[in-house]
Amino acid sequence: MTIPSMTGMKSSFENNFFSTNKTLNLNGRLVDLRTPRIMGILNVTPDSFYDGNRYTSEADILKQVEKMLSDGAMFIDVGGYSTRPGAEEISAEEEQKRVLKAVKNISHEFPDAFISVDTFRSEVVRAAVDAGAHLVNDVSGGSLDDAMFKTVAELKVPYILMHMRGTPQTMNKLTVYENLLKDIMDFFHEKIFTLQQLGAKDIIVDPGFGFAKTVEQNFELLSKLDHFNILGKPVLAGLSRKSMIWRTLDITPEEALNGTTSLNTVALLKGASLLRVHDVKQAAEAIKLIEKISTGHN
């Protein structure tokens, strides 16, 4: 199996309007994000809004990872805690049990794959990195665990800083903003400053589509996604099968692939460096087609 190439690639996606560091150091291996990359979602929880109970056995997990890597994913994002609105709370012990089993198995079977751990708990981060994870995807932006920022800085792992208010259980009630874009930008400025003061190096920003935002606010954020380039950090877009798609189209999450690809294309045109998706093949095709437009090739 071929893992997507990393450094040394001339990219048509590079944006020269802002000085953005788009190279990640993943345990000594460098990944260039000037060409957008794909993060495949691997939910090892029965409570996911879309693929719950689908990848809970070792065989199913490894089969799905193999498919995502073959389809073009560079990162596998392992999550053991459902963050869908109103999701059931589980203990750190249960989350860690789910995540570590998957991380260890993936590391053993696919040693060249980059593994992300999707958690807001620093103790899960420590255990997962020790087991082979390379980066951290924190939906809470450090707000649910005071030790998170210090932990990722100490471990020297790249950190995905996502905007959210409250918890997955309360976020849908926290959607009132004075100025949506400014409030989220202020959040990022403050959090990035704190992380850098602690010594964190590689930071990716994620505006948090679907987290403490209404459908209308999600579309506003997508329309202004290029504004986040001013932060000088790579931007991740997590739009895959989100409610902003299926509620707008009056369909189900299972029917939202076409809508997902449409919005991922918009995100790419607005400078997204990472797409976090359930369906890797379609995201890879979108990146390839947008690159053709950018280079002017026929």
CA-based R_g, the chain, Å: 18
CA distance 194 to 108: 35
- Residue in 20, 25, 58, 29 with CA at minimum distance from that of residue 42: 58
Catalytic-labelled residue, pool 84, 126, 242, 281: 242
Per the CB < 8 A criterion, the answer to whether 40 and 280 are in contact is yes
Q: Does residue 286 contact residue 265 with C-beta atoms inside 8 Å?
A: yes
67 is catalytic: no
Q: What is the 3-state secondary structure (H, E, C) of 127-188?
A: HHHHHCCCEEEECCCCCCCCCHHHHHHHHCCCEEEECCCCCCCCHHHCCCCCCHHHHHHHHH
Q: What is the DSSP string of 191-216?
A: HHHHHHHHT---EEEE--TTSS--HH
Given 63, 213, 276, 288, the catalytic residue: 276
Sign of CA dihedral 212, 95, 86, 283: positive
Confirm whether 276 is a catalytic residue: yes
Q: Which residues are catalytic?
A: 242, 276
